[in-house]
Amino acid sequence: MGATGIIFRREFRAYTRSPMGYIVAAVVLLLDGILFYAIALGPDAGERLSGAVLGIFLYFASGLTAVAAVALSIRLIAEERQAGTQLLLDTSPVRDWEIVAGKFLSALAFLSAITFATLYMPLLILVNGKIAVGHVVIGYLGLTFLGGAVLSIGLFATALTRHQLVAAAIASVITGTLFLLWPLSQNIGPPLSRVFAAIAIHGRHWAGFQSGLLHIRDVVYYLAVTYFFLFAATKVMEAKRWE
């Protein structure tokens, strides 16, 4: 097993053994359940088509996924520095990109487990309605891509500092800004409106997944954001190794 695999297993076990992982999972599942109940069984539910119910659920689930991704990512490197174990990694024959990859994949695996634990909720729509299986698959694929992108932002933030609260603040500011670019693009004129819409992490690039439509440009966008921030995190760790 390579270094990335060893770090992946170590970090994934840390999520399953720490209260933080279970708290994040419980909060996401609880809020997703409440939101689904309100959307699918609330007073206005009878006026919505099944596909619209699924789309609204995915919309709110995307926000919770982003928040969960920030919460899960901020401990990845900052906690190592607080505990004094980062020095062991820095002096070991493990490359920085392997550390970043292992930690990112462990967080993505745990976040994906939480996300797919909510899968039964949209499937309940089939009891009294009809939805396309492809819509569900693409929607959850979008949640995975969005979660991965936000996790990479959080990993970059936690590489910058040893304090988890500071990392949370940095990750929240970056993620919040990327979210806000979409509504800003709707209220300003070109060319800034086109630029903001193109780089916004939600809105234009999320709309297709929410509607059950898979566009290659949206997949490429989320992969590019993920790669950019993982690359930046690697460079930050390389710089700090020599401090």
pLDDT tens track for 163-219: 888 888 999 999 999 999 888 888 887 888 888 888 889 888 898 898 888 899 999
Among 15-24, 122-131, 194-203, 228-237, the range scoring the smallest mean pLDDT is 122-131
Rg of the chain in Å (alpha carbons): 19
CB atoms within 10 A of CB 50: 17
From the list 117, 104, 103, the residue with the least C-alpha distance to 28 is 117
Tokens 């119910």, residue located:
53
Residue 91 reports pLDDT greater than 60: no
**Cβ neighbours around 186 below 10 Å, total:** 10
Tokens 């440009």 -> residue: 217
What would the pLDDT profile of 144-155 be if each residue is shown by its tens digit? 999 999 999 999
Helix (H, G, I), strand (E, B) or coil at 204: helix
3-state helix, strand, coil in the chain (%, to 5): 80, 0, 20
Q: Three-state SS for 129?
A: coil
Q: Is 169 exposed, middle or buried (0-12, 13-18, 19+ CB in 10 A)?
A: middle
DSSP letter assigned to residue 75 = T
Q: What is the dihedral of CA 85, 90, 93, 96, to 10 degrees?
A: 110
Quickly tell me which residue has 């097993």 as its tokens: 1
Q: What is the pLDDT of residue 213?
A: 87
The pLDDT value given to residue 93: 62
Q: Given this model, what pLDDT does residue 228 score? A: 94
Query: What residue spans define the domains of the chain?
Result: 3-241
Question: Euclidean distance between the first and final Cα of the chain, in Å?
Answer: 30
Residue with tokens 């070109």: 190
Structure tokens at 214: 């898979």
Residue 10 CA to residue 36 CA, distance in Å, equals 34
94 has pLDDT over 80: no
- Residues 26, 102: Cα–Cα separation, whole Å: 24
What pLDDT does 173 receive? Answer: 94
Residue 43: its pLDDT value, please? 58
pLDDT in tens, 2-40: 778 888 888 888 888 888 888 999 999 999 888 888 776
Q: What are phi and psi of 45, to 5 degrees?
A: -65, -35
